Amino acid sequence: RKEVEQDPGPFNVPEGATVAFNCTYSNSASQSFFWYRQDCRKEPKLLMSVYSSGNEDGRFTAQLNRASQYISLLIRDSKLSDSATYLCVVNRDPEDGGSQGNLIFGKGTKLSVKP
């Protein structure tokens, strides 16, 4: 099982649509979870951290299910500017041989929002 798996996409949606991305992770000891977005030929930018209680930032809602080792990102009322690749990111447990702060990136899900 890959350490972080995401829907491969691409997701092609019209403006105003609601879209959901899913992600599963293999290391039950992981403690930190994030969603990053990466525009074409740019660096990843932190979109939001994901907390156990779930969190919302405007049109974006992230949820974490530790029992299922599952993370989701919901985007409501999609905008053209939301078009990007969305990366699910999990930290590696340092006791698993990873260095402190070692982040494991999923391969990303590409979103294309059309007019």
Partner 1 sequence: SAVISQKPSRDICQRGTSLTIQCQVDSQVTMMFWYRQQPGQSLTLIATANQGSEATYESGFVIDKFPISRPNLTFSTLTVSNMSPEDSSIYLCSVQQSRTSEQYFGPGTRLTVT
Q: Which residues bind partner 1 (CB under 8 A)?
A: 31-32, 34, 41-46, 49, 87, 97-103, 105-108
- φ/ψ of 113, rounded to 5, equals -100, 125
52 versus 102: smaller Cβ distance to partner 1: 102
| Whole-angstrom distance, CA of residue 71 vs CA of residue 76 | 17
9 versus 98: smaller Cβ distance to partner 1: 98
Tokens 């006791």 identify what position?
95
For residue 54, count other CB atoms closer than 10 A to its CB: 12
84 versus 108: smaller Cβ distance to partner 1: 108
Q: How far is the CB of 61 from partner 1 (least distance, A)?
A: 18
